[in-house]
Chain A
């Protein structure tokens, strides 16, 4: 039948068109990877692994390495995760278990708004408010009372690893809270009620029924947050100082991260090794965040379908 034939034709066309666009999306992803790899080749060939351990990023002598950037990236992200995990999971527990019912949705919404604030505004706030405050009040106080720790020594710059870490805590907090909240909500009610029936306190229910169940999902959320912290560019670039200090334990030092290297250096990057070095820094950020995100997604998928994570 003619009608039947044309029907199938229109379906085929629609299906084909859809597949074509999906294919295009896949080509873009592959294209991003290919562009980064192919443009990094000159520095990969020239420096090999020493690109990771070399401390100089020196366009004048054409020697490039990103050791201080990797250090800065790891320190600020570790700081962010260390403080954001207890606060974020604590908030999630409060929102699910302790918060008065009418306040639950509004509070959860407010915490999620933290994720909607553009990173340049965190950067502005960090640069104009947090860093000056750290320099005049925060860092002198830390040194006076906690100065025996190696983390709080040296000059008060305001801008530096501490400021970047603090801004990152705020930026990854909503991610940890929303993922934790979603997975805590998926804990079967029967499991909670069973413990309650045995006379457990609210905390014991969370400790023994909820957290063991939600552990994998929360870990996924934390790794997702780690990925965001490792790759965050604007806010960190604005507050980290963008100057290499000797690598040391003090959080008062200025520094830079892989992403801030890109943001600061692309403008001067002359064709050749310099250009390639900037791209290789990008390739490293790409690979690190790709791996963390793949691990995070696998963990979250194991919790079953948890919605609302796209944003």
Chain B
């Protein structure tokens, strides 16, 4: 490109002169747009490829037995993952019993009572907690419950998962409780309601949907956790509803079967992954839909 300013652009006085420098600027603009498009395409392609691959490999092995039978001894075809699904439900239930109240009340504290440096500190700690690898909480439950009991147990798994739920529930509840208009609280207080009654009967009901969203999000998150269960719930090839005994979980079973030498078990690992992924994606969609996230434009 030469540096000659072409006269054609004089027709439009707002048109930048076509110098080599401007050509370069335009070129780099296009390069960047193209690169950012490519980056987005990469992320989207990876997700779609992963989903389609799991769908293709898992779908043929989705059958009634998968949800009603327990695994067969080494590699024999047939059987299912019913015990893992049962275990996952129990573990997520235990975690919720433990994690939801602690998370919710931490959220209430941060939004309603938390002022000053202590609240800032608590908020900061809770945020930092979300970034700690989940296996650390597994180690904690292992040392704290499994080692003294001398037995892996569903209880230990539930405690580990519960701790992981706390910061998620706490931060989402805090955010939605803060969104409740001040006028609503003042109206309640003006009618003579006490502070605790205002929070329990006015503020929390107003934020109910958001709080439920946070809870569901946290449950979906821990339903897919594997690492902290390795050393706590441990896994079991049988139905077990005794929380003091080792308990299976869907992600644990996927982990064990993925590295199995038997094709039948690998197929079931794919089928289990499909079940897990569909559950988690449906939850994500439902949450997005419920919170109007698809319409939001910024």
Contact = CB atoms under 8 A, between A and B. Distances in A.
Nearest to A118: B224
Contacts of A294: 124, 128
B208 interface: no
A231 B133 contact: yes
Contacts of A35: 139-140, 143-144
Contacts of B254: 120-121, 124
Interface in A273-297: 279, 282, 285-286, 289-290, 292-294, 296-297
A282 B39 contact: no
A121 B125 CA distance: 29
Interface stretch (A61-69, A100-108, A140-148, A243-251): A100-108
B187 to A, nearest CB: 17
B226 A90 contact: no
A98 B36 CA distance: 8
A106 B294 contact: yes
A109 B102 CA distance: 29
Interface stretch (B59-67, B75-83, B89-97, B189-197): B189-197
Interface in A81-95: 86-88, 90-91, 93-95
A119 interface: yes
Nearest to A13: B196
A19 B227 CA distance: 31
A305 B170 CA distance: 16
A232 B129 CA distance: 15
Interface string A197-233: 0010111101000000000000000001001101111
B140 to A, nearest CB: 5
B293 A109 contact: yes
Q: Is the interface of A mostly helix, strand, loop or mixed?
A: helix
Nearest to B159: A28
Contacts of B26: 201
Q: Is the interface of B mostly helix, strand, loop or mixed?
A: helix
B25 to A, nearest CB: 5
B217 interface: yes
A226 B111 CA distance: 30
Given A29-B125, A120-B224, A310-B172, A259 B135 contact: yes
Contacts of B214: 310
Contacts of B39: 86-88, 90-91, 94
Given A86-B39, A311-B217, A127 B259 contact: yes
Nearest to B288: A109
B16 interface: yes
A15 interface: yes
Nearest to B136: A286
Interface residues of A, number: 97
B255 A238 contact: yes
A87 B166 CA distance: 31
A129 interface: yes
Contacts, number: 272
A60 interface: no
Given A25-B106, A91-B40, A202-B29, A119 B227 contact: yes
B43 A111 contact: yes
A32 B137 contact: yes
Contact of B194 (A10, A31, A279, A293): A10
B262 interface: no
A116 interface: yes
A119 B133 CA distance: 12
Contacts of A289: 131-133, 136
7 contacts: A39-B143, A88-B39, A118-B224, A203-B33, A285-B133, A310-B130, A310-B171
Interface of B: 16, 25-26, 28-29, 32-33, 35-40, 42-44, 46-47, 50, 53-54, 101-102, 105-106, 108-109, 112-113, 122, 124-137, 139-140, 142-144, 163, 166-168, 170-172, 175, 194-197, 199-200, 214, 217, 220-221, 223-227, 230-231, 251, 254-255, 258-259, 266, 269-270, 273, 276-277, 280-281, 284, 288, 293-298
Interface of A: 7-8, 10-11, 13-15, 17-19, 21-22, 24-26, 28-29, 31-32, 35-36, 39, 86-88, 90-91, 93-95, 97-99, 101, 104-107, 109-114, 116-125, 127-129, 170, 173-174, 177, 185, 199, 201-204, 206, 224, 227-228, 230-234, 238, 259, 262-263, 266-267, 279, 282, 285-286, 289-290, 292-294, 296-297, 307, 309-311
Given A35-B143, A124-B270, A296-B131, 17 more contacts: A21-B109, A22-B122, A29-B129, A32-B140, A35-B140, A93-B32, A98-B33, A98-B36, A110-B44, A128-B266, A202-B32, A203-B32, A204-B25, A232-B133, A259-B133, A289-B133, A297-B128
